[in-house]
Copies of this chain bind each other. A is one copy, B any other.
Amino acid sequence: MSFDIQKIRSDFPILNRKVYGKPLVYFDNAATTQKPRAVIDRITDYYTNENCNIHRGVHHLSQAATTAFEDTREQIARFINASKKEEIIITKGTTESINLIASSFGRDILQKGDEVLITAMEHHSNLVPWQMLCFEKEASLRVVPFNDKGEIEMSAYKDHINDKTRIIALAHVSNTLGTINPVKEMIQYAHGKNVPVLIDGAQALSHLKVDVSDLDCDFYCFSGHKAYGPMGVGVLYAKEKHLEAMPPYQTGGEMVESVSFFETTFNVLPFKFEAGTPNVEAVLGMGAAIKYLEETGMESIEDYEDDLLAYGTQKLKKIEGVQLYGTACKKTGVLSFLIDNIHPYDAGTIIDKFSIAVRTGHHCAQPVMDRFGIPGTIRASFAMYNTKEEIDQLVEAIHQVKKMFG
């Protein structure tokens, strides 16, 4: 196999660090992933040799940085198989990408009495912007429920679409349950009813091969920092026809073509949606992360993580009193669970003392917790650098938690 876990671990400097005197076990990857050396070095190089504001500068540094920036835009387009680089808008993250669409596209198409459809497993970032929009427009937010395993059933989904549905926004992968939604089918059905679909891909990009042309989604959003890239950068992929029709979101800087006090004309795509100095550093860093993902191979990563998930699931199921939330047939490496009646805060505090980083709480998906009637979960989420040995350590820690609170 081409997947050499020791080599991969050695690519991530932070895995050498100790917490409370023992090697860090990092299972908080759904919150943010760690960065390979290639990404860190790209940033250092940039500031050491290339730093410059881009676009419109004729001097050497500015030309070189602009070229590197625009080349990365093309690289991103290729990586998710967009048909052209003008469809790649750089944002600061998934949350901003979704807000942009809710504000520019949503405000344009939504009228009083219309409906926006989401699912019950959305992250707050793919829920609150739609809720606010519906509130503003006197439209209704409709919610497709999920079943006990954490799956959206196609029949339930179809039942919620009607001739008032104006846009559907749904997660490719749930951050809390790990569920991989059948988004291709869901998009196809929606398009049959002429409804555009936004996919929140924040939790998908580092785990699955994403192909926006194959999915045929109208919008696809993700964050660099959840896919081994730097913080402060995200992507909004959108079909060109939508971007052309949409009004700009933020204004100022390079997104204008000409300005007088009486009128302003906006720049062409993609610049029309990129107001202010772009985060060149983070875009180049994201380019390095994508290169790293491609070199490692998305399929190898998926296989390896599937294996980790199967192992972890089986181990956790064996522990008496452990209750798993999210047991969909198609899942990424996310294990959300509770131990007996122990409060997640208590469990998390003790697990941390074993140098293991898990997240506890509602994971910005409070409605998921409400659905199960629990205050929160303990969540271990895997990345390509995790190992079965680390899962064993988690199992050990869970036994200790049980002992201490038993």
Which A residues contact B (CB, under 8 angstroms)?
A: 13-14, 17, 19-20, 24, 26, 28, 31-32, 34-35, 39-40, 43-44, 47-53, 56-62, 92-96, 98-99, 123-129, 131-132, 141, 143, 223, 225, 230-233, 250-254, 256, 258-261, 264, 275-282, 345, 348-349, 351-352, 355-361, 364, 366-367, 370
Contact = CB atoms under 8 A, between A and B. Distances in A.
Interface SS majority for chain A: mixed
A402 to B, nearest CB: 18
Contact of A99 (B251, B281, B349): B251
A129 B250 contact: yes
A14 B65 CA distance: 14
A279 B128 CA distance: 21
**Oligomeric state, in number of copies?**
2
10 residue pairs, one from A and one from B, having the closest CB atoms: A95-B276, A125-B252, A232-B279, A31-B53, A232-B232, A128-B251, A59-B357, A32-B53, A59-B352, A99-B250
Contacts of A127: 252, 259, 261
Given A60-B352, A252-B95, A275-B125, A261 B367 contact: yes
A52 B31 contact: yes
Contacts of A44: 40, 43-44
A282 B47 contact: no
A358 B148 CA distance: 62
30 contacts: A13-B49, A14-B51, A19-B60, A19-B61, A20-B60, A24-B61, A31-B52, A52-B357, A57-B359, A58-B352, A59-B352, A59-B356, A60-B355, A92-B276, A123-B253, A124-B252, A124-B256, A127-B252, A127-B259, A127-B261, A128-B256, A231-B232, A232-B281, A253-B364, A256-B364, A259-B366, A260-B366, A260-B367, A261-B367, A279-B282
A230 B53 CA distance: 12
A13 to B, nearest CB: 5
Nearest to A281: B231
Contacts of A233: 232
B225 A48 contact: no
